[in-house]
Structure 1
Amino acid sequence: MHHDKHPDYHPVVFRDRAAGYAFLTRSTASSDETIDWDDGRTYPVVDVEISSESHPFYTGRARTVDAEGRVARFERRYGTDPGSGADTGAGTG
């Protein structure tokens, strides 16, 4: 087995400042900043812009796409009235 081939994998605290949330995990990320954790030990801390606590998908604030509303808007915009002759389907004749 080759030594020195893999990066250092150690405990790191990731802190989401937007949500005021921090979590301890193992990572290869490093930082000069440290934080005193709940277990009394000191760990390197990495600040992140977004985490599961502040991401709209995980918090339920995500905007869902309404497919039916898109179809209705398309029909209003381009007028797909069946009686207008706009539909020139194959097999007519």
Structure 2
Amino acid sequence: MQQDKHPDYHAVVFRDRAAGYAFLTRSTATSDQTIEWDDGRTYPVVDVEISSESHPFYTGKARTVDSEGRVAAFERRYGSGSEAGRPSEAG
């Protein structure tokens, strides 16, 4: 590995302001703000808008798309595709 080519990889606290949730991890992100963590040490803190604590997908508040209803509406409007290839029974 070449020296002086890689960014500084250090401990950083990421804080989700919306959920009031913070976690300590390692990152190359930097910040001028600091926070005192549970272990008594001071770490740089990076504020994020959304995390797994506030994201609708992870919290279970996500809207689900009714794909079955969309298919049924399409078939009502345009007919089902399986009838298009059948020969007529009149005859």
Q: TM-score range by the shorter chain?
A: 0.7 to 0.9
Equivalent residue for 1:88, pick from 62, 84, 87: 84
Quick one: distance in 1 between partners of 2:61 and 2:72? 24
Runs of 5+ unmatched residues, structure 1: none
Quick one: distance in 2 between partners of 1:73 and 1:49? 38
Runs of 4+ in 1 over 3 A off after TM superposition: none
Identity of aligned residues (%): 78
Return the TM-score normalized by structure 1: 0.81
CA apart distance, 1:64 = 1.8
Deviation string 1:51-89 (CA, Å, 9 cap, x unpaired) is 00011111111122222111122234x25279xxxx532
Across the aligned residues of Structure 1 and Structure 2, the Cα RMSD in angstroms comes to 2.0
The one-letter code sitting in structure 2 at the alignment partner of 1:88 is A
Quick one: distance in 2 between partners of 1:55 and 1:20? 13
How do 1:71-86 residues align onto structure 2 when only pairs under 5 Å count? 71-76=71-76, 78-80=77-79
Quick one: distance in 2 between partners of 1:23 and 1:81? 51
Q: Which residue is equivalent to 1:5?
A: 5
Deviation string 1:21-53 (CA, Å, 9 cap, x unpaired) is 000000000000000111101000000011000
